[in-house]
Amino acid sequence: MTTLKPLQKWSNLSSANRQSSPPDDSLRDLKYGRCMSFFVAGNWKTHLLSDEANTLIQQLLDQCNQDGVAVFPPALYVPQVSDQLRDSAIGFGVQDISESGFGATTGDLCAQQVAEFGCQYALVGHSERRQRQQESSQWVAEKALAAVTAGLVPIVCVGETLEEREAGNDVATVMEQLEPVLNLVPVDSTLMVAYEPVWAIGTGKTASADQAQAMHSEIRARLSQIGMQQTKILYGGSVKAANAAELAQCPDVYGALVGGAALQIDEFAAIVAAFQERH
Ligand code: 13P
């Protein structure tokens, strides 16, 4: 196996640097320490065979090689993705992480091992895992802490079901999912929150810009209350080229976590362009 060169991590920057930058509307890129002004990531879930993943990465290198773009391939493809993206601006991460470190946890993804392969990010608490693996919000918080401790940026996914929204419990649900994370990770941690309403994931039904902004603003207010106002909030749920520009106009929507549309380069590149054009 090739030896991976260590990447500069945001968490490794001196605390003086961390306080003086990034400016309010940007996030420091973990890979090169540059400032990003948006973040658009493709969550590939369990799609693609490895040669298809290679092709998609090559297309991304051709069309979207810029700060603020990232991919979350299936964990098995992390070594090849790491090799392909080595000298690029594109970041990458894993779709889940174990809350425990090295040890007897068969099948888990250990944060330190993930970081060794050059990953900068880890999704935690995706609704598909909350549902399928019955991940509790406390468990998700422990995963977020494990990621932060290993120098990874956790992207904490939250979102309500349609029933919860229709019962008027959407904000309460999202806050309940978020609260254990905010209680557990140090207040100066770099993390992102991805608001992904469950009813919008893979359904073709996107939250309207007003619905997305309303929830993002609630999340922003809570983060600000505890001194985490720098935390970036992404929207996810049927984001595609056709609705990206509208979502990108929302002041608290910093970027997008894209599922299905991330597998088609033209769609994904258009989403990246929509967020880039906002600035
Ligand atoms: P879709 O974009 O396919 O709705 O998936 C969103 C998602 O789950 C991203 O994590």
Q: How far apart are CA 31 and CA 10, in angstroms?
A: 8
In the predicted structure, residue 39 carries a pLDDT above the cut 80 = yes
Distance CA 94, CA 250 (A): 27
**Ligand 1 mean position, distance from CA 267 (Å):** 13
The residue with greater pLDDT, 10 or 252, is: 252
The predicted model gives 7-13 an average pLDDT of 34
Mean pLDDT (whole number) for 99-109: 95
Find, among 108, 62, 114, 63, the residue nearest to 93 by Cα: 114
Burial pattern 210-232, b for ≥16 Cβ within 10 A else e, equals ebbbebbebbbebbeeeebebbb
Is the preceding omega at residue 22 within 30 degrees of 0, hence cis?
Answer: yes
Measure CA of the first residue to CA of the last residue in the chain; give whole Å.
40
pLDDT digits (tens, 9 = 90+) for 48-88: 999 999 999 999 999 999 999 999 999 999 999 999 999 99
Per residue in 165-178, pLDDT (tens digit) is 999 999 999 999 99
- Per-residue model confidence (pLDDT) at position 204: 82
What residues does ligand 1 touch, defined as CB less than 6 Å away? 43, 126, 196, 201-202, 236-239, 257-261
Q: pLDDT, tens digit, for every residue of 113-163?
A: 999 999 999 999 999 999 999 999 999 999 999 999 999 999 999 999 999
Query: Does an H or E element contain 122, and which?
Result: strand 121-124
CATH architecture of 27-277: Alpha-Beta Barrel (3.20)
The whole-number pLDDT of residue 29 equals 59
If you take atom 9 of ligand 1, which residue's CA is the nearest one?
A: 259
